[in-house]
Amino acid sequence: MNPGFATLAPLRRQRGAALMVSLVLLLIMTLLGVTSMRTTTLQERMAGNLRDNNLAFQAAEAALREGEDVLEAATVPPFNDANGLLQMRSGAGQPSFWNAFDWAADGRQATAPNPSIVAAAPRYVIEELPPLPAEGDSLRFGALPDVGFYRITARGVGGTADAVSILQTTYRR
């Protein structure tokens, strides 16, 4: 043996504890990464759905306003159950037109707020409701003309065809 060199301690058998600890830490970090990716993906989908819902609501609101513009004109078009201008059916035996209603064929197409971002143009229908006598009729001054009421129903579609919003209002003329 060479006296200039320190004697080496005999090698002990290694147990691999550092390897096991690093593998467990790597597994924990992988689980955290996968969980955060799933959470981020879910939040992204929720934000997209909220945007689609908002687009559908805005499109239906625009169609509703366009229906009101039709009724604000100097003359009201004839309500002949065509082109989205419908007569209200009354009576116990009368079927509702909503039973066989097709928005694409029976509704009036409105101008979309931004046609490139909605899946379909918004549509609306106007129902002519039975007229009611005006308030304040007087025997002294004669009868006032009947007041016309109309129900406007609008349907808007968002960025996808799955996001649909339907709004309804009653209009007095």
Per-residue H/E/C for 71-96: HCCCCCCCCCCECCEEECCCCCCCCC
Sign of CA dihedral 47, 53, 56, 60: negative
Between 95-99, 115-119, 127-131, 159-163, the lowest mean confidence (pLDDT) is in 95-99
Q: For all residues of the chain together, what is the average pLDDT? A: 85
Report which of 151, 173, 158, 142 is spatially closest to residue 59, judged by C-alpha positions.
Answer: 158
Domain ranges of the chain: 17-172
Residue-wise pLDDT for 61-117, tens only, equals: 999 999 999 999 988 899 988 888 988 876 666 667 777 788 888 899 998 777 789
Q: What is the pLDDT of residue 47?
A: 94
d(CA 170, CA 153): 9
